[in-house]
Structure 1
Amino acid sequence: MSTVSITAVNFVLAPQYNYVDSYKDTFENTSVERGLDSLFSLELMGLTEEETFSDFERKKVKEFQNSVVIENQCYYVKLPWWEDKIGKVPSNYSVALAVLNRVFNKLEKENKYREYLDVFLEQEREGIVERIVVTREEYEKYVWIPHRPVYKTEEQSTTKVRPVFNCSSKPKGGISINEAAYPGVNLMGNLLQLLLHFRSNDIMRTVIHKMNAPKENFYVDNLIKTGNVPENLVQLYTNVVKRLEEGHFDLRSCSSNREELRHKIEKDGRMPQHHSQYEKVLGYNYDTKSDSLSLAKTDSDSGANTKRRILAAVAAHFDPLSLCVPVTIRGRIFISELWKAGLGWAETVTSTQQKSWQSLSKDFFSAQFLHLSKKVPVRGLYSKPGFIL
């Protein structure tokens, strides 16, 4: 049975929950069935309950905010911990060493070790990571963070390989760094709200000063702002660059559907360094010149013959706006039918089910080539809105 990678199943293997998942450290990241609920979740459609924060949560957030300082153009923060747990995290040296050996042997076999090593050497040169000196006798006194490489194949990706760190690593009977860390409250912007705002002709309300942008304009580290006033977008771009430079962050990927702003971004050397005609906008492909949206290109896996592989293929088509719902809803219905049939995750589907999936996978493949206008007229405004991302 082939291994299902995290990039293949997209949102199902890495969902952004609005609640604490107490089982996340129990199951492997490659456990597709763990993310099954997100495929049918109301959160995926933007239907969530209004969040309320306790006094304790507000206190922890305030403590974290107060710990942020800028020194020598670098940000320094104090990580929030559960005080009664952090001192009990044991050394996981033997576990980390086993992971290291496994990753090293695989990279050597695939002739990718040097490529992966260069990532860390580059980060060291840029001051992102630093070396520490630890004698062999002290190995068991430290907590180590195992890591492995993840490869990106999208054209828009300028970093094709990057390390992913596993802070859930722990020896048997111990607790991990993740368990000792205070997870904080959910400050994630509403993905559906941001996408709808992105498609609207809403005029920019105010010029953002020093990147103090409203929460609804951010999703993790992605800032997307629409507006019909090009001058405001240029000012926003200038403020963003200035604000990031204060923290020694070099803005390298910025774009717009406004020709005048794209020209300034390109002159500054901050246009995305890839050869694709599309930009990635919250999971969708966006063509800045035609002002159109399409689904991100994924492998429809027409040869999938188990429930696990079919689920991975269905979930790979990320479409929170339901632009292609006539196709994607059929995928969810098909998964439901496989579930009702009582098939195991690795069990081969019947020939009839296989033919149904092959037909459906063709529609999934074709859906990727549908281009829909980004613009959605709102309140009588029909001019093409400019935006910056």
Structure 2
Amino acid sequence: MREYAALGHMEPVQAPYSHDGCYYIPHPAVVGKFRVVFNASAQTSTGVSLNDIQLVGPTIQDSLVNILLRFRRYRVAITADIEKMFGQVLVTSEHQDLQRIIWRESPADNIGVYRLKTVTYGMASSPYNAVRALQQCAVDNCSVSRDEDQAALARDAILTSFYVDDFLTSCANASEGIELARSVDAILSAGKFRLSKWNSNDNQVTMCLSSNASISSYTFNSGETSVLGLKWDSVTDELFYRVEIEPTIDVPTKRSVLREVTRLFDPTGLLSPVVITGKVFIQKMWSVGLSWDTPLPDDLREEWLRYRSKLKALNQVRIERWLGMVRHGRTTLHGFCDASSYAYAAMIYIRTIDDSHAKQLSLLTARRKVAPFKGSTIP
């Protein structure tokens, strides 16, 4: 809370307090990864919360899958994120009193009233407002780059390669990556969006950027890092997974099985055979009419425990990030689909041939679904 005040993200409201047109946001502390969480879904005495009366706004950023696929396109990968993105966007002064909070450092202090001045986590409209401000920044400030072509590339990268505050992109070579990173940084710095936690699989990119004193903040994360729910090792340039399997203590139920299967986050479908097996098992539980907290029958319990025990093998899966695409090479897409009485799926492979005629074949993406209970024929 001291940081909020020091950074100008909140300011005290001077007494006497008028409460007309105001909303007070509860803010519990989360102590796992310590942070403040603002709960604008808390209802007032009218039975309505601030989130209930807000427009959420449309989705204006590119899809997570598209960003990940673009990240895998070329040899040189670059990632970064925006520090305190929401806090860099001011809320108009006439609406700041809808973001009031109460706070005191200790029980001995008087309770103080504050208003939050910036876009706040926990508000229904906040993701849209922050992303919309970022995109407007890209349009308004792209002229800071003297080269028109480079300015256009950087603007398009900001518009298409950000997922909220996470930036992922790939370039054909190191020099292109360095120029793009510098231009994106300059454009966003003009709007007070500060990029940090840069990472790249190319040593030339990291060395060149980190030695440039004019850059706003090239702090680098080397080695393993998270990229939109996946893990990326920038040293080996591989994508991988981290599956945490807790020791089995309780008897498995439909609720606990569903919770564990939904933890298998797989946006591009690379784990489809594993995920669909878990979803087929969930369908079996529904078919026998189990309630949420009833222990599984012996046959289902044994089947589930066998499946669960094998999930740790996902930690051994390593996937090359780079799909082998080059600027003037040849790329073809190959689609397949299949169906059974349990599930059906479609997948796309990508085959690339570079200038030296070297070939590479990779699974690009896949989609799968459990077959419906009352289906027609398998075709």
| TM-score, normalised relative to structure 1 | 0.58
Q: Does the CA-based 8 Å contact 1:283-1:296 persist in structure 2?
A: no
The corresponding residue for 1:184 is 57
* Structure 2 Cα separation of the partners of residues 285 and 364 of structure 1: 16
Matched, 1:271 2:151: no
Superposed counterparts of 1:84-163, under 5 Å: 120-134=1-15, 138=18, 142-150=22-30, 160-163=33-36
* Structure 1 Cα separation of the partners of residues 199 and 75 of structure 2: 19
* Structure 2 Cα separation of the partners of residues 183 and 133 of structure 1: 31
Letter in 2 for 1:270: Y
The corresponding residue for 1:326 is 273
* Structure 2 Cα separation of the partners of residues 376 and 364 of structure 1: 26
Residue segments in structure 1 that go unaligned for 5+ positions in a row:
1-119, 153-159, 385-389
Matched, 1:289 2:235: yes
The corresponding residue for 2:309 is 362
Tell me how far 1:340 sits from its aligned partner.
Answer: 1.7
Q: Does the CA-based 8 Å contact 2:195-2:218 persist in structure 1?
A: yes
Q: Does the CA-based 8 Å contact 1:308-1:345 persist in structure 2?
A: yes
Q: Does the CA-based 8 Å contact 2:41-2:50 persist in structure 1?
A: yes
Q: Percent identity?
A: 24
Q: Does the CA-based 8 Å contact 2:178-2:209 persist in structure 1?
A: no
- Over 3 Å counting, the alpha-carbon distance change for 1:230 and 1:343 in structure 2 is same
Summarize deviations over 1:167-226 as a string: whole Å, max 9, x none.
Answer: 22213543322222222211131122222222223899x635594225432222222221
Residue segments in structure 2 that go unaligned for 5+ positions in a row:
78-148, 326-330, 332-352, 361-379
* Structure 2 Cα separation of the partners of residues 341 and 352 of structure 1: 12
* Structure 2 Cα separation of the partners of residues 303 and 323 of structure 1: 30
The corresponding residue for 2:164 is 220
Summarize deviations over 1:329-387 as a string: whole Å, max 9, x none.
Answer: 11111111112222222222233333322221222222023111112234223699xxx
Q: Does the CA-based 8 Å contact 2:224-2:234 persist in structure 1?
A: yes
* Structure 2 Cα separation of the partners of residues 299 and 377 of structure 1: 34
Letter in 2 for 1:376: L
Q: Does the CA-based 8 Å contact 1:189-1:220 persist in structure 2?
A: no
Which structure features the higher share of helix residues?
A: 1
Matched, 1:254 2:198: yes
- Over 3 Å counting, the alpha-carbon distance change for 1:244 and 1:216 in structure 2 is closer
Tell me how far 1:148 sits from its aligned partner.
Answer: 2.7
Q: Does the CA-based 8 Å contact 1:287-1:293 persist in structure 2?
A: yes
* Structure 1 Cα separation of the partners of residues 279 and 210 of structure 2: 42
- Over 3 Å counting, the alpha-carbon distance change for 1:211 and 1:167 in structure 2 is farther
Q: Does the CA-based 8 Å contact 2:75-2:324 persist in structure 1?
A: no
Letter in 1 for 2:8: G
CA RMSD of aligned residues (A): 3.0
The corresponding residue for 1:236 is 180
Mean Cα deviation higher: 206-215 or 313-322: 206-215
Q: Does the CA-based 8 Å contact 2:206-2:220 persist in structure 1?
A: no
Tell me how far 1:247 sits from its aligned partner.
Answer: 2.7
Letter in 1 for 2:34: V
- Over 3 Å counting, the alpha-carbon distance change for 1:333 and 1:134 in structure 2 is farther
Matched, 1:376 2:318: no
The corresponding residue for 1:175 is 48
The corresponding residue for 1:164 is 37
Specify which of 196, 215, 218 is matched with residue 69 of structure 2. 196
- Over 3 Å counting, the alpha-carbon distance change for 1:311 and 1:266 in structure 2 is farther
- Over 3 Å counting, the alpha-carbon distance change for 1:350 and 1:185 in structure 2 is same
Tell me how far 1:277 sits from its aligned partner.
Answer: 3.3
Matched residue SS, 2:232: strand
* Structure 1 Cα separation of the partners of residues 21 and 15 of structure 2: 10
Q: Does the CA-based 8 Å contact 2:76-2:177 persist in structure 1?
A: no
Tell me how far 1:142 sits from its aligned partner.
Answer: 3.2
Matched residue SS, 1:213: helix
- Over 3 Å counting, the alpha-carbon distance change for 1:142 and 1:216 in structure 2 is closer
The corresponding residue for 2:341 is none
Matched residue SS, 1:224: strand
Number of residue pairs the alignment of both structures matches? 254
Matched residue SS, 1:147: coil
* Structure 2 Cα separation of the partners of residues 383 and 149 of structure 1: 53
Matched residue SS, 1:244: helix
Matched residue SS, 2:240: strand
The corresponding residue for 1:310 is 257
* Structure 2 Cα separation of the partners of residues 208 and 297 of structure 1: 40
* Structure 1 Cα separation of the partners of residues 298 and 207 of structure 2: 55
Tell me how far 1:301 sits from its aligned partner.
Answer: 5.9
Letter in 2 for 1:239: S
The corresponding residue for 1:245 is 189
Tell me how far 1:292 sits from its aligned partner.
Answer: 0.4
- Over 3 Å counting, the alpha-carbon distance change for 1:383 and 1:164 in structure 2 is farther
